[in-house]
Chain A
Amino acid sequence: MPRVIVFTILLLGLLALIPPAIFARMRSTPGPGRPIHIVQDMDYQPKFKTQTANPLFADGRAMRQPVPGAVARGEVMDDPHYLEGAIDGQWATEFPSQVEVNMALLDRGRERFNIYCSVCHGVAGYGDGMVNLRAMALMANADGPVDGTAWVQPKNLHLPEVAAQPVGQIFHSITNGIRNMAGYQAQIATADRWAIVAYVKALQLSQNAPAGLRAEATP
């Protein structure tokens, strides 16, 4: 058999391996340049979904921002006890009537506390969460704090001055923030914020339970 033909067959065989090799690599390593839509169908329709871009608006958002001061339907505005934790300018010492304190509320509160608060305040509330540890390490850097880090340690929630706070004050701190802590009004729904308050109160009690209560709880 002439050399040319043998070489051509071998070459074709090798060339045939290239597409599968490319595809195998695409499957195993993520990268840009995908997704590839060979048949476009109606994949891209001229409509706008949540959090998409719309070039017609100056800020490029398809979702319009509410006008400042707008009140959503069903949102109550005239209940300072429920919304701000205050009654007649004093911190509320009782939970508002919308909130029923029971085991389900505490369970919900624990779950939400572990999502939103434990990163800074720690699971047990001692102000020793993972973010705090990282930030403290940045502060302790030999050449001064890295990149302008100015971290204030999250409050230990078992300090007497925090443990003595009425429920309304804790609720207000979560809602609007306090000094170096940001407010969580936008991230956590009002009912969940009250659930967190209930859980914080339970957590504080659990670490400093009076002797009588402990005896009562142990059967």
Chain B
Amino acid sequence: MSRFLFPKWSNLLLPGLILAGAVAPLYAVFVVAYGFSPKTMEAGYQPEQPVPFSHALHAGQLGMDCRYCHNTVEKTSHAAVPPTQTCMNCHTQIRPESPKLVEVQESYKTGEPIDWIRVHKLGDYSYFNHAAHVNRGIGCASCHGRVDQMEVVYRWAPLSMGWCLNCHRDPEPNLRPVSQITNMAYEPELELSDDERLALIDKYDIHPSENCSACHR
């Protein structure tokens, strides 16, 4: 009867297993941190809208100001998505019979709203206010990215609490004059010197809150 002998390569098993045991948890931590972060799970949401409305055309090529349509953004917490009437300021005359505008014409006739799909949404337990930011020199582009280059809007920022706090702790790199808030091409860090941006903090009296009750009220 021949005795069983471990083959020579089995000497590698022990160090191999130790190595695997060390790498596996690191790998798991990496995958969870990278993959389950809001930057992966939340940012980049781009639903298909009922009307193929293009910001790249209207806000980009035609150069329309965001506030022409989102006209409550400076006054209220909510940035209203425009009613159909706003579209019809132009589209009664521009391409009224276009197949891409059928839903809009329908909505105009019946008074039923267009079912735009919500792109940006915080958890219902949190509070956000557009007017507080826009009137303090934080531009749309700092939070929504280059909307004027998007055919279809998507969620550019993760909108996580860490992301909000990042800026609340150090808003200075994002500050611009209030007159430039809808200027999407404006780069605060290129256009203004550090001193000029620090001066804006005083001018607009900026002290962003880190209290839980500011955003969870």
Since A27-B43, A35-B41, A116-B68 are in contact, a sample of 14 more A-B pairs with Cβ atoms closer than 8 Å, ordered by chain A residue number, is A19-B31, A23-B31, A32-B48, A34-B155, A35-B42, A44-B124, A50-B80, A51-B78, A60-B115, A130-B61, A135-B94, A146-B95, A187-B86, A188-B71
Indicate if A26 sits at the interface (CB-CB under 8 A): yes
Does B44 contact A131, Cβ atoms closer than 8 Å? no
Q: 4 shortest A-B CB distances, which residue pairs?
A: A30-B154, A148-B97, A23-B35, A30-B46
B75-91 to A contact mask, C-beta < 8 Å, 1/0: 01110110101101110
Interface centre among B94, B118, B179, by most chain A C-beta atoms within 10 angstroms, is B94
CB distance from B143 to the nearest CB of A (A): 16
In whole angstroms, how far apart are the Cα atoms of A59 and B118 in the complex? 18
Q: At the interface, yes or no: A29 with Cβ under 8 Å from chain B?
A: yes
Chain A 12-29 interface residues, beta-carbon cutoff 8 Å to B: 16, 19-20, 22-23, 26-27, 29
Given contacts A19-B35, A20-B34, A130-B63, contact A42 B125 (CB under 8 A): yes
Q: Are B78 and A50 neighbours in the complex by a CB distance under 8 Å?
A: yes
- Give the segment of A75-83, A90-98, A149-157, A198-206 that binds chain B: A149-157
Those of A122-175 within 8 Å (CB) of chain B: 130-131, 134-135, 138, 146-152
Residues of B within 8 A of A135 (CB): 90, 93-94
- Contact status of A186 and B125, CB under 8 A, knowing A31-B46, A119-B64: no
Question: Which residues of chain A from 46 to 77 have any CB-CB distance to chain B below 8 Å in the complex?
Answer: 47, 49-53, 59-61
> What residues of chain B have their CB less than 8 Å away from a CB belonging to chain A?
9, 12, 27, 30-31, 34-36, 38-48, 61-65, 67-68, 71, 76-78, 80-81, 83, 85-86, 88-90, 92-98, 111-113, 115, 118, 121, 123-125, 154-155, 179
User: Using Cβ atoms and an 8 Å threshold, which residues of chain A touch B112?
Assistant: 59-60
Which residues on A sit within 8 Å (CB–CB) of B77?
50
Q: B-contacting residues of A (Cβ < 8 Å)? A: 1, 16, 19-20, 22-23, 26-27, 29-32, 34-38, 41-45, 47, 49-53, 59-61, 111, 114-116, 119, 130-131, 134-135, 138, 146-152, 180, 182, 186-188
Q: Give the residue name and chain of the B residue nearest to A115 (CB).
A: B65
For the complex formed, measure the closest distance between the CB of B46 and the CB atoms of chain A, giving whole angstroms: 4
Q: Across the interface, do A151 and B63 meet the contact criterion of CB distance under 8 Å?
A: no
Which of A16, A29, A61, A149 meets B93, CB within 8 Å?
Answer: A149
Chain B residues with Cβ under 8 A from A52's Cβ?
A: 118
**In the complex, which residue of chain B has the Cβ closest to the Cβ of A187?**
B71
Asked if B125 and A41 sit within 8 Å, CB to CB, the answer is: yes
- Which residues of B have CB within 8 Å of A41? 123, 125
Would A38 and B125 count as touching, CB distance under 8 A? no
User: What's the Cα separation between A186 and B90 when bound, in Å?
Assistant: 15
Closest chain-B Cβ to A62's Cβ sits at a distance in Å of 11
Knowing A30-B154, A59-B111, A115-B68, say if A182 contacts B92 (CB, 8 Å): yes
